[in-house]
Structure 1
Amino acid sequence: MQTDDHIALPPLWCPLELRVREGEKVFQERSRAWLERHGLDERSLRRAAATDTGFLACVWAPDGSEEGVQLLADWLVWALLFDDYYCDTGPHSVRPGTFNPLTARMMARALYPATARTGDPAFDAFASALADMIRRIDALADPQLAQLCALAHYQWAVGAMCGVSDRAAGSLRSVEDHVLIRPGDGADILSVHMIEVAEGTVLPARDRIRPEVRAVTQAAGILLTVPTDLASYAHEHHQGCLESNLVHLVAARRGCPAQDAVDQACALLECVMTFFVTMRDRLREHGSESMLRYTDQLAHLVRGTYEWQRFLPRYTTVLDVPRHGGAEDPALRPADPARRPAHALHDIAPDRRHPGAGLPAPLAWWWELLDRPA
């Protein structure tokens, strides 16, 4: 794919199996009706059609129940629309002083879903939908997992706050900081928990706190979020919100052309993928049934996201005028937001293409885990 910065996305290496549950269109249609019942505005409803979250729920949780996958699809579209409405565009997206308390008030609904309405139609619509999802999680999930889901909303909020702060200050984070902040901004831990809810499983706490499990989960979070920096580059360029995009960060920090930054980003992703595959295999050698399910869920999270973004209307369709001074981008076109692009944004490579890349310093501890006896 080309943008006005002449960025082409190469094939991305992902040696994980893709599984797809049936019913993606039904889940998508139900999600839209659910959003409408909670009063989301027409702009958000139109953007919902471009998220393809029915498909994403089906690849993230191929073994999920009907109720569980619908809950996952609803949460996915809600999260993306909240991100669009408050984090990437609009007056709060450049004002931490208003964005941070607003987000804290919203996420409080995850712990206290019966909190009273505020009188702000947009806020109350999003809050009503979130409170409904929390009640459904509480009814469907193991109580400890339900509590983890509620608390993980705050981790997501911290990541989003970092993005708004960067935009407001006109600052660029380092690559080292990005690999720590970007997964939280993309709700990585919450996504993992929501897959567990959808499939009716829960990893015991004694396993969840193991360094190896924390590392493989962190790697999955990076592989969930950072590849979308590549696929969404044109979309975010159009919105004028590249402050949290790895391609932009690498190009600006290292003074290289954007295409070179794409290649460096791919090399980083391949290094993370190498660790993820290696550690996942190790955990599965003598793993319990719950560990096998959990590592499968992480793999579905990663492979499903790589597939979802390849044909995502959200990344190729102009739905709004540019924000934050962003210019019109010829790579984006007005179109039916529910129609998938005819051509993939990138291919899936069967083999690693950038050997020899290293991990940023905050992730270097992973290799120590691989040096330990299995």
Structure 2
Amino acid sequence: MEAPETLVPIHAHDASTNRHEVSSTSQAKNHSANDAATTIILPDLFVSIMSPSPRLNPLYEVVRPASEAFTKELLGLDAASFKKHRRVNFSLLASMWMPEADAEGLRVMVDWLTWVFFFDDLFDDGELRDDPVGAQAEAEATLALMSDHEQEVSRELHPLRYLFYTTWVRFRNVLLALQTRYRKCIEEYITGVVRQTGASLVGADISVEQYLHWRRKSVGLRPCHALMEYACGIQLPDYVLAHPAVQECVMVSIDLVSLQNDILSYRKELASCGTQNIIHILRRQGMTTQQAFDRAGGLTVTAIRRWHLAQLDMPIWGEEVDRQLQRYLQGCLDSCIGSLNWRLVSAV
């Protein structure tokens, strides 16, 4: 296997189109004895359904300062931590995901993204990383907050639980079917996060499909789709969302975000010895770094083709249901396009 490399992606922002374009090459410095340089050609991620520029919610500048001030006070962020939080800019991500949401819906998504970032960090690099018992306890306490009854959650003792609870309180007034879907998605996500505590994919004989299946449960996008329904006022019956063609589109959107994230974050994960990345998995299967990036790029193209094929199998349910479904599917696409563009300007 090759020696570890440090990848330095080159990107620029085209202010006239609000489009962030990635250069097709990036420099990779090999920290071996001869300190030789390597060039890695990154796959073009802005293709087909990923080529449109992201739309931005006009309420972005209204929601951002209020959410950031709330987060700073609630979590007690010092100056350095708050500066980092502002650079990550979840308000921008949510505004790209939901360009047509109202202020309340946008704020719920921003607060939820803030919660999931800090919650996930507890298990990735925080105090629960090597504490399965503590991780399970935190998971159970968080899941218990999703009830129909008022609960008292201490802002001082459990600020993250309080933040999650505020999103649930605003969410639980929606239709019961949507509440049920949201609960199920949250349970699936938190269960996936807890299972990875203290675990690693290093040395595991895991296929690409097995890896993507694992990522679909742990990446946290399924709850976002339910939140999008709430925030954008989309109303779809369960039988429509359960249709295989719709579910395939949902899985494609999650796979695209996961693959894009792995491609663009590989440099950072090398520095922190991260292993839960498609590039790392492919390299352990014997590929060179360039071959792994090429393969990952090919997987994004395959996912895009799956999206188009799913459209061919989509039933026609009638004008109103079809209108709502098209809004939902556009939201899934917006989550992919927004995530890709956001990663190029955020501090993640």
User: What's the TM-score, normalizing by structure 1?
Assistant: 0.74
Aligned residue among 275, 278, 281 for 1:246: 278
Q: In 1, Cα distance between the equivalents of 2:142 and 2:208?
A: 29
2:113 is the alignment partner of 1:80 = no
1:51–1:80 contact (8 Å) kept in structure 2: no
Q: In 2, Cα distance between the equivalents of 1:251 and 1:113?
A: 49
2:315 is the alignment partner of 1:270 = no
Q: Could you tell me which residue of structure 2 aligns to residue 23 of structure 1?
A: 59
2:69 is the alignment partner of 1:33 = yes
Q: Could you tell me which residue of structure 1 aligns to residue 232 of structure 2?
A: 199
Question: In percent, how many aligned pairs have the same letter?
Answer: 19
Tell me how far 1:190 sits from its aligned partner: 0.6
Aligned residue among 191, 206, 211 for 2:244: 211
Tell me how far 1:118 sits from its aligned partner: 7.5
Q: Could you tell me which residue of structure 1 aligns to residue 17 of structure 2?
A: none
2:86 is the alignment partner of 1:55 = no
Tell me how far 1:236 sits from its aligned partner: 2.5
Q: Which amino acid aligns with 2:329?
A: T
2:179 is the alignment partner of 1:143 = no
Tell me how far 1:116 sits from its aligned partner: 4.9
SS in 2 for 1:152: helix
Tell me how far 1:83 sits from its aligned partner: 1.6
Q: Return 5+ residue gaps in structure 1 as ranges.
A: 315-374
1:87–1:160 contact (8 Å) kept in structure 2: yes
Aligned residue among 69, 72, 90 for 2:126: 90
1:104–1:157 contact (8 Å) kept in structure 2: no
Aligned residue among 199, 211, 214 for 1:181: 214
Tell me how far 1:283 sits from its aligned partner: 2.9
Decide whether aligned partners of structure 1 residues 145 and 278 sit closer, same or farther in structure 2, where only a CA change above 3 A counts: same
Deviation track 1:44-92 (CA, whole Å, cap 9, x = no partner) reads 54442232211111111111111101111111122112222x1221231
Q: Could you tell me which residue of structure 1 aligns to residue 21 of structure 2?
A: none
Q: In 2, Cα distance between the equivalents of 1:10 and 1:256?
A: 16
Q: In 2, Cα distance between the equivalents of 1:24 and 1:275?
A: 32
2:289 is the alignment partner of 1:289 = no
SS in 1 for 2:146: helix
2:257 is the alignment partner of 1:224 = yes
Tell me how far 1:117 sits from its aligned partner: 4.7
Q: In 1, Cα distance between the equivalents of 2:123 and 2:347?
A: 20
Aligned residue among 49, 54, 71 for 2:108: 71
Tell me how far 1:105 sits from its aligned partner: 2.0
1:216–1:276 contact (8 Å) kept in structure 2: yes
Q: Which amino acid aligns with 1:308?
A: W
SS in 2 for 1:49: helix
Which deviates the most, 266-275 or 277-286?
277-286
2:59–2:103 contact (8 Å) kept in structure 1: no
Q: Could you tell me which residue of structure 1 aligns to residue 334 of structure 2?
A: 300
Q: Could you tell me which residue of structure 1 aligns to residue 20 of structure 2?
A: none
2:163 is the alignment partner of 1:129 = yes
Deviation track 1:180-218 (CA, whole Å, cap 9, x = no partner) reads 011221112111111111101122111011111112211
Decide whether aligned partners of structure 1 residues 119 and 80 sit closer, same or farther in structure 2, where only a CA change above 3 A counts: closer
Tell me how far 1:176 sits from its aligned partner: 2.2
2:297 is the alignment partner of 1:260 = no
Tell me how far 1:142 sits from its aligned partner: 2.7
Q: How many residues in Structure 1 have an aligned counterpart in Structure 2?
A: 307
Q: Return 5+ residue gaps in structure 2 as ranges.
A: 1-8, 10-26, 31-37
Decide whether aligned partners of structure 1 residues 251 and 120 sit closer, same or farther in structure 2, where only a CA change above 3 A counts: farther
Q: Could you tell me which residue of structure 1 aligns to residue 186 of structure 2?
A: 153
SS in 2 for 1:93: coil
SS in 2 for 1:79: helix
Decide whether aligned partners of structure 1 residues 307 and 51 sit closer, same or farther in structure 2, where only a CA change above 3 A counts: same
Q: Could you tell me which residue of structure 2 aligns to residue 313 of structure 1?
A: 347
Q: In 2, Cα distance between the equivalents of 1:29 and 1:107?
A: 29
Higher strand fraction: Structure 1 or Structure 2?
2
Q: In 2, Cα distance between the equivalents of 1:267 and 1:100?
A: 37
Tell me how far 1:270 sits from its aligned partner: 0.9
Tell me how far 1:164 sits from its aligned partner: 2.3
Tell me how far 1:247 sits from its aligned partner: 0.9
Q: Which amino acid aligns with 2:222?
A: I
1:188–1:221 contact (8 Å) kept in structure 2: yes
SS in 1 for 2:88: coil
Decide whether aligned partners of structure 1 residues 53 and 119 sit closer, same or farther in structure 2, where only a CA change above 3 A counts: closer
1:223–1:302 contact (8 Å) kept in structure 2: yes
Aligned residue among 102, 111, 118 for 2:138: 102
